Structure 1
Amino acid sequence: MEINNAIALVTGASGGIGSHFVEQLLHSGAAKVYVCARSLNRLDELVDLNPDRVIPVELDVTDPDSVIAAANQCSDVNLLINNAGIALNQGVIAADDLKSARAEIEVNYFGMMSMCRAFAPILKQQGGGTIANLVSLVGKVNLPFSGSYSASKAAALSMTQCVRAELASQGTLVVAVMPGTVDTSMASEWPEPKVAPAEVAKATLQGIIDGQEDVYPGEQAAQVSEQLLSNPKGVEKYMAGFLPGMALAGATA
Protein backbone atom coordinates (compact mmCIF):
# COMPACT_ATOMS: atom_id res chain seq x y z
CA MET A 1 0.00 0.00 0.00
CA GLU A 2 0.99 3.62 -0.32
CA ILE A 3 1.62 5.79 2.73
CA ASN A 4 0.52 8.90 0.87
CA ASN A 5 -3.10 9.63 1.87
CA ALA A 6 -3.14 6.70 4.31
CA ILE A 7 -5.09 6.97 7.56
CA ALA A 8 -2.84 5.54 10.24
CA LEU A 9 -3.05 4.71 13.92
CA VAL A 10 0.08 4.43 16.07
CA THR A 11 -0.02 2.90 19.54
CA GLY A 12 2.60 3.94 22.06
CA ALA A 13 2.98 7.12 20.06
CA SER A 14 4.30 9.37 22.82
CA GLY A 15 7.74 7.85 23.26
CA GLY A 16 10.47 5.63 21.92
CA ILE A 17 9.90 4.71 18.32
CA GLY A 18 6.30 5.93 18.24
CA SER A 19 6.94 9.64 17.80
CA HIS A 20 9.29 8.88 14.90
CA PHE A 21 6.55 6.86 13.22
CA VAL A 22 4.29 9.88 13.46
CA GLU A 23 6.91 12.18 11.95
CA GLN A 24 7.66 9.77 9.11
CA LEU A 25 3.98 9.26 8.38
CA LEU A 26 3.40 12.99 8.12
CA HIS A 27 6.50 13.41 5.96
CA SER A 28 5.27 10.62 3.68
CA GLY A 29 1.90 12.28 3.13
CA ALA A 30 -0.44 10.39 5.46
CA ALA A 31 -3.82 12.11 5.42
CA LYS A 32 -4.49 11.49 9.10
CA VAL A 33 -2.55 9.97 11.99
CA TYR A 34 -4.28 8.85 15.16
CA VAL A 35 -1.69 9.03 17.95
CA CYS A 36 -2.41 6.89 21.00
CA ALA A 37 -1.20 6.88 24.58
CA ARG A 38 -2.65 6.09 27.98
CA SER A 39 -2.70 9.81 28.83
CA LEU A 40 -3.76 12.48 26.35
CA ASN A 41 -1.44 15.12 27.83
CA ARG A 42 1.53 13.05 26.64
CA LEU A 43 0.44 13.64 23.05
CA ASP A 44 0.45 17.46 22.96
CA GLU A 45 3.82 17.78 21.18
CA LEU A 46 2.77 15.32 18.49
CA VAL A 47 -0.50 17.13 17.88
CA ASP A 48 1.44 20.38 17.55
CA LEU A 49 3.30 18.89 14.56
CA ASN A 50 0.11 19.20 12.51
CA PRO A 51 -3.14 19.75 14.41
CA ASP A 52 -5.21 19.19 11.27
CA ARG A 53 -3.77 15.74 10.60
CA VAL A 54 -2.70 14.43 14.03
CA ILE A 55 -5.58 13.24 16.21
CA PRO A 56 -4.94 12.30 19.86
CA VAL A 57 -6.59 9.15 21.23
CA GLU A 58 -6.53 7.93 24.81
CA LEU A 59 -5.75 4.22 24.67
CA ASP A 60 -4.62 1.50 27.05
CA VAL A 61 -4.00 -1.61 24.94
CA THR A 62 -4.40 -3.82 28.02
CA ASP A 63 -7.96 -2.57 28.64
CA PRO A 64 -10.51 -4.22 26.30
CA ASP A 65 -13.01 -1.38 26.74
CA SER A 66 -10.34 1.17 25.81
CA VAL A 67 -9.42 -0.80 22.70
CA ILE A 68 -13.07 -1.03 21.62
CA ALA A 69 -13.54 2.70 22.19
CA ALA A 70 -10.49 3.45 20.04
CA ALA A 71 -11.78 1.22 17.25
CA ASN A 72 -15.12 2.99 17.33
CA GLN A 73 -13.46 6.40 17.23
CA CYS A 74 -10.97 5.48 14.49
CA SER A 75 -13.17 3.53 12.12
CA ASP A 76 -11.48 4.91 8.98
CA VAL A 77 -8.01 3.48 9.66
CA ASN A 78 -6.27 1.55 6.88
CA LEU A 79 -2.81 1.34 8.51
CA LEU A 80 -2.44 0.03 12.06
CA ILE A 81 1.00 0.31 13.66
CA ASN A 82 1.17 -1.68 16.89
CA ASN A 83 4.14 -0.02 18.52
CA ALA A 84 3.20 -0.05 22.23
CA GLY A 85 5.51 -2.21 24.30
CA ILE A 86 7.40 -2.53 27.57
CA ALA A 87 10.69 -4.18 28.56
CA LEU A 88 11.47 -4.67 32.24
CA ASN A 89 14.81 -6.47 31.78
CA GLN A 90 14.19 -9.50 33.94
CA GLY A 91 15.22 -13.10 33.55
CA VAL A 92 12.81 -15.98 34.01
CA ILE A 93 14.41 -17.87 36.91
CA ALA A 94 16.33 -14.88 38.27
CA ALA A 95 13.24 -12.66 38.62
CA ASP A 96 11.83 -12.30 42.13
CA ASP A 97 8.33 -13.09 40.91
CA LEU A 98 6.17 -13.16 37.78
CA LYS A 99 5.03 -9.52 37.91
CA SER A 100 7.36 -8.31 35.16
CA ALA A 101 6.64 -11.27 32.92
CA ARG A 102 2.89 -10.80 33.32
CA ALA A 103 3.13 -7.07 32.60
CA GLU A 104 5.20 -7.66 29.47
CA ILE A 105 2.90 -10.36 28.13
CA GLU A 106 -0.16 -8.20 28.77
CA VAL A 107 1.19 -5.31 26.71
CA ASN A 108 3.48 -6.96 24.16
CA TYR A 109 1.25 -9.95 23.36
CA PHE A 110 -2.33 -9.59 24.58
CA GLY A 111 -2.41 -5.84 23.93
CA MET A 112 -1.15 -6.29 20.38
CA MET A 113 -3.59 -9.15 19.82
CA SER A 114 -6.51 -7.06 21.07
CA MET A 115 -5.64 -4.29 18.62
CA CYS A 116 -5.38 -6.73 15.72
CA ARG A 117 -8.74 -8.25 16.60
CA ALA A 118 -10.48 -4.89 17.02
CA PHE A 119 -9.16 -3.36 13.79
CA ALA A 120 -9.28 -6.38 11.48
CA PRO A 121 -12.90 -5.72 10.44
CA ILE A 122 -12.15 -2.01 10.01
CA LEU A 123 -9.26 -2.80 7.69
CA LYS A 124 -11.49 -5.16 5.74
CA GLN A 125 -13.98 -2.35 5.20
CA GLN A 126 -11.13 -0.17 3.92
CA GLY A 127 -10.12 -2.76 1.32
CA GLY A 128 -7.57 -4.70 3.33
CA GLY A 129 -4.99 -2.22 4.57
CA THR A 130 -1.95 -3.07 6.65
CA ILE A 131 -1.01 -4.09 10.18
CA ALA A 132 2.59 -3.49 11.25
CA ASN A 133 3.52 -5.20 14.52
CA LEU A 134 6.68 -4.02 16.28
CA VAL A 135 8.11 -7.29 17.46
CA SER A 136 11.88 -7.59 18.04
CA LEU A 137 14.82 -9.67 16.96
CA VAL A 138 14.70 -11.31 20.41
CA GLY A 139 11.34 -12.71 19.38
CA LYS A 140 13.45 -15.13 17.34
CA VAL A 141 16.20 -15.86 19.87
CA ASN A 142 16.00 -15.30 23.62
CA LEU A 143 18.26 -12.85 25.40
CA PRO A 144 18.30 -14.07 29.02
CA PHE A 145 19.20 -10.59 30.33
CA SER A 146 15.65 -9.67 29.31
CA GLY A 147 14.28 -13.18 29.09
CA SER A 148 10.60 -12.64 29.86
CA TYR A 149 10.51 -9.69 27.44
CA SER A 150 12.04 -11.94 24.77
CA ALA A 151 9.39 -14.57 25.49
CA SER A 152 6.60 -12.01 25.12
CA LYS A 153 8.03 -10.95 21.77
CA ALA A 154 8.28 -14.57 20.63
CA ALA A 155 4.58 -14.89 21.43
CA ALA A 156 3.92 -11.67 19.52
CA LEU A 157 5.79 -12.98 16.49
CA SER A 158 3.86 -16.24 16.47
CA MET A 159 0.59 -14.34 16.87
CA THR A 160 1.56 -12.05 13.99
CA GLN A 161 2.03 -15.06 11.73
CA CYS A 162 -1.40 -16.36 12.71
CA VAL A 163 -3.05 -12.99 12.05
CA ARG A 164 -1.28 -12.85 8.69
CA ALA A 165 -2.76 -16.20 7.73
CA GLU A 166 -6.25 -15.37 8.97
CA LEU A 167 -6.42 -11.99 7.24
CA ALA A 168 -4.84 -13.00 3.93
CA SER A 169 -8.25 -13.59 2.36
CA GLN A 170 -9.33 -10.01 3.07
CA GLY A 171 -6.16 -8.61 1.51
CA THR A 172 -4.56 -7.30 4.70
CA LEU A 173 -0.77 -7.10 4.70
CA VAL A 174 0.57 -8.10 8.14
CA VAL A 175 4.16 -7.03 8.78
CA ALA A 176 6.48 -8.24 11.55
CA VAL A 177 9.06 -5.56 12.33
CA MET A 178 12.16 -7.01 14.00
CA PRO A 179 14.87 -4.48 14.85
CA GLY A 180 17.84 -5.19 17.08
CA THR A 181 18.76 -2.74 19.81
CA VAL A 182 16.92 0.55 19.24
CA ASP A 183 18.36 3.80 20.59
CA THR A 184 15.50 4.70 22.94
CA SER A 185 15.20 5.33 26.67
CA MET A 186 13.87 1.79 27.10
CA ALA A 187 17.25 0.48 25.91
CA SER A 188 19.39 3.13 27.57
CA GLU A 189 21.46 0.52 29.44
CA TRP A 190 21.98 -1.60 26.34
CA PRO A 191 25.24 -1.43 24.38
CA GLU A 192 26.10 -0.39 20.87
CA PRO A 193 25.36 -0.95 18.09
CA LYS A 194 21.95 0.65 18.21
CA VAL A 195 19.65 1.54 15.35
CA ALA A 196 18.09 5.00 15.35
CA PRO A 197 14.34 4.94 15.99
CA ALA A 198 13.82 7.13 12.93
CA GLU A 199 15.49 4.44 10.84
CA VAL A 200 13.15 1.80 12.28
CA ALA A 201 10.14 3.91 11.33
CA LYS A 202 11.49 4.68 7.87
CA ALA A 203 12.40 1.05 7.13
CA THR A 204 8.99 -0.12 8.31
CA LEU A 205 7.08 2.28 6.09
CA GLN A 206 9.26 1.37 3.12
CA GLY A 207 8.62 -2.29 3.85
CA ILE A 208 4.90 -1.60 3.82
CA ILE A 209 5.19 0.16 0.47
CA ASP A 210 7.18 -2.79 -0.88
CA GLY A 211 4.74 -5.36 0.50
CA GLN A 212 7.29 -7.04 2.77
CA GLU A 213 5.98 -9.36 5.48
CA ASP A 214 9.17 -9.27 7.60
CA VAL A 215 11.25 -6.13 8.08
CA TYR A 216 14.67 -6.07 9.78
CA PRO A 217 15.61 -2.42 10.35
CA GLY A 218 19.29 -1.69 10.81
CA GLU A 219 22.53 -3.53 10.08
CA GLN A 220 22.49 -5.50 13.34
CA ALA A 221 19.06 -6.97 12.70
CA ALA A 222 19.94 -7.89 9.12
CA GLN A 223 23.16 -9.63 10.15
CA VAL A 224 21.68 -11.58 13.07
CA SER A 225 18.66 -12.66 11.03
CA GLU A 226 21.05 -14.13 8.47
CA GLN A 227 23.07 -15.84 11.20
CA LEU A 228 19.88 -17.38 12.58
CA LEU A 229 19.39 -19.07 9.22
CA SER A 230 22.94 -20.36 8.90
CA ASN A 231 23.82 -21.12 12.53
CA PRO A 232 20.79 -20.82 14.85
CA LYS A 233 22.36 -22.76 17.73
CA GLY A 234 25.47 -20.64 17.52
CA VAL A 235 23.41 -17.47 17.89
CA GLU A 236 21.46 -19.02 20.77
CA LYS A 237 24.65 -20.00 22.61
CA TYR A 238 26.11 -16.52 22.07
CA MET A 239 22.99 -14.86 23.44
CA ALA A 240 22.94 -17.28 26.37
CA GLY A 241 26.08 -15.60 27.66
CA PHE A 242 24.15 -12.45 28.53
CA LEU A 243 22.54 -13.40 31.80
CA PRO A 244 20.36 -11.36 34.18
CA GLY A 245 22.40 -8.85 36.16
CA MET A 246 25.34 -8.86 33.74
CA ALA A 247 26.77 -5.85 31.97
CA LEU A 248 25.81 -6.31 28.34
CA ALA A 249 28.20 -6.08 25.40
CA GLY A 250 26.94 -6.60 21.90
CA ALA A 251 23.54 -8.15 22.57
CA THR A 252 20.31 -7.32 20.77
CA ALA A 253 17.12 -5.82 22.16
Structure 2
Amino acid sequence: MKIHYDIEGKIALVTGANRGIGKAIVDAFLHHGAAKIYAAVRNLDSAAHLVERYGSKVVPIQLDLIRPETIVAAAETAKDVQVVVNNAGVFIASTPMDDEAGNSLELGMKINVLGLIQMAQVFAPILKINGGGALVQLNSIASLKCSANFATHSASKAAAYSITQALHELLGRQGTAVLSVHPGLIATDMSAAAGLGGAAEPASLVGEGIVTALKAGDFHLFPDSMAKRIGSAYQHFSESIIETDISEYRPVKI
Protein backbone atom coordinates (compact mmCIF):
# COMPACT_ATOMS: atom_id res chain seq x y z
CA MET A 1 0.00 0.00 0.00
CA LYS A 2 1.38 3.39 -1.03
CA ILE A 3 1.36 6.22 1.49
CA HIS A 4 1.41 9.61 -0.21
CA TYR A 5 2.96 12.42 1.80
CA ASP A 6 3.22 16.16 1.17
CA ILE A 7 5.99 18.07 2.96
CA GLU A 8 4.05 21.37 2.85
CA GLY A 9 3.26 22.66 6.33
CA LYS A 10 5.10 19.79 8.01
CA ILE A 11 7.79 19.75 10.71
CA ALA A 12 10.88 17.74 9.79
CA LEU A 13 14.13 16.60 11.34
CA VAL A 14 17.18 16.12 9.10
CA THR A 15 20.36 14.51 10.42
CA GLY A 16 23.62 15.83 8.98
CA ALA A 17 21.73 18.94 7.90
CA ASN A 18 24.68 21.32 7.86
CA ARG A 19 26.21 20.40 4.49
CA GLY A 20 26.01 18.34 1.31
CA ILE A 21 22.88 16.28 0.79
CA GLY A 22 21.53 17.18 4.23
CA LYS A 23 21.64 20.89 3.46
CA ALA A 24 20.04 20.28 0.06
CA ILE A 25 17.19 18.44 1.81
CA VAL A 26 16.68 21.37 4.19
CA ASP A 27 16.64 23.78 1.24
CA ALA A 28 14.15 21.66 -0.73
CA PHE A 29 11.81 21.10 2.20
CA LEU A 30 11.63 24.78 3.08
CA HIS A 31 11.25 25.73 -0.58
CA HIS A 32 8.23 23.42 -0.75
CA GLY A 33 6.60 24.86 2.33
CA ALA A 34 7.84 22.89 5.34
CA ALA A 35 6.92 24.75 8.51
CA LYS A 36 10.08 24.00 10.49
CA ILE A 37 13.26 21.94 10.25
CA TYR A 38 15.20 20.53 13.15
CA ALA A 39 18.79 20.59 11.87
CA ALA A 40 20.28 17.62 13.71
CA VAL A 41 24.06 17.96 13.76
CA ARG A 42 27.00 16.89 15.90
CA ASN A 43 28.24 20.46 16.32
CA LEU A 44 25.52 23.07 16.78
CA ASP A 45 27.72 25.86 15.41
CA SER A 46 27.87 24.06 12.05
CA ALA A 47 24.18 24.85 11.48
CA ALA A 48 24.58 28.60 12.11
CA HIS A 49 24.53 29.38 8.38
CA LEU A 50 21.12 27.70 8.06
CA VAL A 51 19.68 29.79 10.88
CA GLU A 52 21.18 32.89 9.30
CA ARG A 53 19.42 32.09 6.03
CA TYR A 54 16.08 30.76 7.26
CA GLY A 55 15.70 32.26 10.74
CA SER A 56 13.34 30.55 13.17
CA LYS A 57 12.30 27.96 10.56
CA VAL A 58 15.56 26.11 11.35
CA VAL A 59 16.19 24.83 14.87
CA PRO A 60 19.65 23.28 15.42
CA ILE A 61 19.75 20.30 17.78
CA GLN A 62 22.63 18.04 18.67
CA LEU A 63 22.56 14.47 17.39
CA ASP A 64 25.38 12.01 16.81
CA LEU A 65 24.46 8.57 15.45
CA ILE A 66 27.31 6.94 17.35
CA ARG A 67 25.95 8.30 20.66
CA PRO A 68 22.46 6.87 21.31
CA GLU A 69 21.84 9.25 24.20
CA THR A 70 21.90 12.20 21.76
CA ILE A 71 19.18 10.53 19.66
CA VAL A 72 16.98 10.19 22.72
CA ALA A 73 17.67 13.79 23.75
CA ALA A 74 16.87 15.05 20.24
CA ALA A 75 13.55 13.22 20.31
CA GLU A 76 12.70 14.91 23.63
CA THR A 77 13.18 18.27 21.92
CA ALA A 78 11.50 17.36 18.62
CA LYS A 79 8.25 15.89 19.96
CA ASP A 80 6.29 17.66 17.24
CA VAL A 81 8.28 16.17 14.35
CA GLN A 82 6.33 14.63 11.46
CA VAL A 83 9.12 13.74 9.02
CA VAL A 84 12.47 12.22 9.97
CA VAL A 85 15.27 12.15 7.41
CA ASN A 86 18.22 10.00 8.45
CA ASN A 87 20.84 11.47 6.14
CA ALA A 88 23.95 11.37 8.34
CA GLY A 89 26.37 8.51 7.86
CA VAL A 90 30.01 7.60 7.57
CA PHE A 91 32.11 6.70 4.55
CA ILE A 92 35.10 4.61 5.59
CA ALA A 93 35.91 2.13 2.87
CA SER A 94 38.25 -0.83 2.66
CA THR A 95 38.62 -3.85 0.44
CA PRO A 96 38.07 -7.21 2.15
CA MET A 97 41.83 -7.77 1.95
CA ASP A 98 42.90 -4.57 3.69
CA ASP A 99 44.30 -4.81 7.20
CA GLU A 100 41.74 -2.24 8.36
CA ALA A 101 38.75 -4.02 6.79
CA GLY A 102 37.39 -5.21 10.13
CA ASN A 103 37.63 -1.80 11.77
CA SER A 104 36.11 -0.07 8.74
CA LEU A 105 33.19 -2.46 8.63
CA GLU A 106 32.61 -2.22 12.38
CA LEU A 107 32.42 1.57 12.32
CA GLY A 108 30.24 1.58 9.20
CA MET A 109 27.81 -0.87 10.76
CA LYS A 110 27.76 1.05 14.04
CA ILE A 111 26.85 4.37 12.40
CA ASN A 112 25.09 3.48 9.14
CA VAL A 113 23.10 0.50 10.42
CA LEU A 114 22.78 0.60 14.20
CA GLY A 115 22.30 4.37 13.98
CA LEU A 116 19.33 3.82 11.65
CA ILE A 117 17.84 1.21 13.97
CA GLN A 118 18.13 3.54 16.95
CA MET A 119 16.64 6.45 15.00
CA ALA A 120 13.67 4.30 14.03
CA GLN A 121 13.13 2.94 17.53
CA VAL A 122 13.19 6.41 19.09
CA PHE A 123 11.28 8.39 16.47
CA ALA A 124 8.70 5.89 15.14
CA PRO A 125 6.45 6.30 18.22
CA ILE A 126 6.59 10.08 17.81
CA LEU A 127 5.68 9.85 14.13
CA LYS A 128 2.74 7.61 15.03
CA ILE A 129 1.46 10.08 17.64
CA ASN A 130 1.81 12.91 15.11
CA GLY A 131 -0.31 11.22 12.46
CA GLY A 132 2.04 8.71 10.83
CA GLY A 133 4.37 11.01 8.95
CA ALA A 134 7.39 9.79 7.03
CA LEU A 135 10.82 8.27 7.59
CA VAL A 136 13.40 8.88 4.88
CA GLN A 137 16.61 6.85 4.89
CA LEU A 138 19.64 7.87 2.81
CA ASN A 139 21.08 4.64 1.48
CA SER A 140 23.15 4.52 -1.72
CA ILE A 141 23.61 2.70 -5.00
CA ALA A 142 26.45 1.09 -3.02
CA SER A 143 23.71 -0.85 -1.23
CA LEU A 144 22.98 -2.62 -4.53
CA LYS A 145 26.35 -2.69 -6.28
CA CYS A 146 29.58 -3.42 -4.43
CA SER A 147 32.84 -1.98 -5.70
CA ALA A 148 35.89 -3.86 -4.41
CA ASN A 149 37.63 -0.69 -3.22
CA PHE A 150 34.57 0.35 -1.20
CA ALA A 151 33.51 -3.11 -0.04
CA THR A 152 33.07 -2.43 3.66
CA HIS A 153 31.07 0.73 2.93
CA SER A 154 28.86 -1.18 0.50
CA ALA A 155 28.30 -3.90 3.10
CA SER A 156 27.11 -1.36 5.68
CA LYS A 157 24.82 0.32 3.15
CA ALA A 158 23.41 -3.03 2.01
CA ALA A 159 22.62 -3.82 5.64
CA ALA A 160 21.00 -0.40 6.08
CA TYR A 161 18.89 -1.01 2.97
CA SER A 162 17.78 -4.36 4.39
CA ILE A 163 16.71 -2.65 7.63
CA THR A 164 14.90 0.01 5.56
CA GLN A 165 12.88 -2.72 3.82
CA ALA A 166 11.82 -4.05 7.22
CA LEU A 167 10.88 -0.56 8.38
CA HIS A 168 8.83 -0.05 5.22
CA GLU A 169 6.68 -3.00 6.24
CA LEU A 170 6.60 -2.37 9.98
CA LEU A 171 6.05 1.39 9.99
CA GLY A 172 3.57 1.15 7.15
CA ARG A 173 1.23 -0.52 9.64
CA GLN A 174 1.11 2.72 11.65
CA GLY A 175 0.62 4.89 8.56
CA THR A 176 4.23 6.05 8.28
CA ALA A 177 5.64 6.43 4.78
CA VAL A 178 9.15 5.02 4.39
CA LEU A 179 11.42 6.14 1.55
CA SER A 180 14.76 4.53 0.68
CA VAL A 181 17.02 6.97 -1.18
CA HIS A 182 19.85 5.62 -3.36
CA PRO A 183 22.07 8.41 -4.70
CA GLY A 184 24.93 7.69 -7.07
CA LEU A 185 27.55 10.35 -7.81
CA ILE A 186 26.48 13.45 -5.91
CA ALA A 187 28.73 16.46 -5.35
CA THR A 188 29.51 16.36 -1.63
CA ASP A 189 32.58 16.52 0.57
CA MET A 190 32.25 12.77 1.02
CA SER A 191 32.35 12.00 -2.71
CA ALA A 192 35.25 14.40 -3.20
CA ALA A 193 37.21 12.69 -0.42
CA ALA A 194 36.58 9.35 -2.13
CA GLY A 195 37.97 10.71 -5.40
CA LEU A 196 34.56 10.53 -7.10
CA GLY A 197 33.83 14.20 -7.58
CA GLY A 198 34.57 14.46 -11.31
CA ALA A 199 31.20 13.44 -12.75
CA ALA A 200 29.17 14.25 -9.65
CA GLU A 201 25.77 15.91 -9.93
CA PRO A 202 24.23 18.54 -7.62
CA ALA A 203 22.85 17.55 -4.22
CA SER A 204 19.66 19.46 -5.04
CA LEU A 205 18.58 16.45 -7.12
CA VAL A 206 18.30 14.47 -3.89
CA GLY A 207 16.38 17.11 -1.96
CA GLU A 208 13.89 17.78 -4.75
CA GLY A 209 13.64 14.07 -5.49
CA ILE A 210 12.64 13.28 -1.91
CA VAL A 211 9.81 15.80 -2.01
CA THR A 212 8.52 14.31 -5.27
CA ALA A 213 8.94 10.68 -4.18
CA LEU A 214 7.07 11.26 -0.91
CA LYS A 215 4.16 12.81 -2.80
CA ALA A 216 4.09 9.85 -5.18
CA GLY A 217 4.16 7.32 -2.35
CA ASP A 218 7.31 5.66 -3.72
CA PHE A 219 9.51 3.37 -1.65
CA HIS A 220 12.68 3.92 -3.72
CA LEU A 221 14.31 7.06 -5.05
CA PHE A 222 17.18 6.99 -7.55
CA PRO A 223 17.81 10.74 -7.93
CA ASP A 224 20.77 11.24 -10.30
CA SER A 225 21.83 9.92 -13.72
CA MET A 226 23.94 7.01 -12.48
CA ALA A 227 21.35 6.07 -9.88
CA LYS A 228 18.53 6.19 -12.44
CA ARG A 229 20.38 3.72 -14.70
CA ILE A 230 20.73 1.29 -11.82
CA GLY A 231 17.18 1.96 -10.63
CA SER A 232 15.79 1.25 -14.08
CA ALA A 233 17.50 -2.15 -14.17
CA TYR A 234 16.41 -2.86 -10.59
CA GLN A 235 12.79 -1.80 -10.99
CA HIS A 236 11.28 -5.14 -12.03
CA PHE A 237 13.03 -7.04 -9.24
CA SER A 238 11.97 -4.43 -6.73
CA GLU A 239 8.32 -4.44 -7.76
CA SER A 240 8.19 -8.24 -7.99
CA ILE A 241 10.18 -9.12 -4.86
CA ILE A 242 11.21 -6.24 -2.59
CA GLU A 243 7.86 -4.44 -2.51
CA THR A 244 5.75 -7.60 -2.53
CA ASP A 245 4.59 -9.70 0.41
CA ILE A 246 6.76 -12.80 0.12
CA SER A 247 3.98 -14.87 1.71
CA GLU A 248 2.17 -14.51 -1.60
CA TYR A 249 4.71 -16.84 -3.19
CA ARG A 250 3.86 -20.52 -3.16
CA PRO A 251 5.98 -23.53 -4.14
CA VAL A 252 5.55 -24.57 -7.74
CA LYS A 253 4.34 -28.14 -8.11
CA ILE A 254 6.22 -30.15 -10.74
For Structure 1 versus Structure 2, the TM-score category normalised by the shorter chain is 0.7 to 0.9
Matched, 1:209 2:215: yes
> 1:89 corresponds to which residue?
93
Corresponding position of 2:18: 14
Task: Give the length in aligned residue pairs.
Answer: 231
1:150-185 per-position Cα deviation (integer Å, ceiling 9, x unaligned): 000000000001111111111101000011121111
TM-score (norm 1): 0.87
Aligned mates of 2:236, 2:179 — CA distance in 1? 23
CA distance in 2, matches of 1:47, 1:100: 34
Specify which of 229, 236, 240 is matched with residue 223 of structure 1.
229
User: What SS does the aligned partner of 2:135 have?
Assistant: strand
Out of 98, 110, 113, the position equivalent to 2:114 is 110
Unaligned 5+ runs, structure 1: 232-253
How far apart are residue 104 of structure 1 and its match?
1.3
**Structure 1 residues 43 and 224: alpha-carbon distance in aligned structure 2, compared to 1, 3 A threshold:** same
Cα distance change of structure 1 residues 230 and 56 upon mapping to structure 2, 3 Å threshold? closer
Equivalent of 1:190 in 196, 200, 216: 196
Report the residue type matching 2:152 in the other structure. Answer: S
Aligned residue for 1:226, secondary structure, equals helix
Q: Give ranges in structure 2 of 5+ residues lacking alignment.
A: 238-254
Paired residues of 2:95 and 2:149 also in contact (CA < 8 A): yes
Which residue among 171, 196, 205 is the counterpart of 1:199? 205
RMSD of Structure 2 on Structure 1 (CA): 1.6
1:153 paired to 2:157: yes
- What's the offset of the Cα at 1:206? 0.9
Q: Displacement, 1:111?
A: 0.8
Percent identical:
33
What residue in structure 2 maps to residue 120 of structure 1?
124
Do 2:185 and 2:224's aligned partners in 1 also have CA atoms closer than 8 Å? no
- C-alpha contact (below 8 Å) 1:195/1:217 kept by paired residues: no
Deviation of 1:193 (Å): 3.2
Other-structure match for 2:29: 25
**1:93 Cα deviation (Å)?**
1.9
Please state how far the C-alpha of 1:99 moved relative to its aligned partner. 2.0
- Aligned partners of 1:139 and 1:157 also within 8 Å: yes
Helix, strand or coil at the partner of 1:46: helix
Quote the Cα distance in structure 2 between the aligned partners of 1:16 and 1:118.
25
Is 1:135 equivalent to 2:139 in the alignment? yes
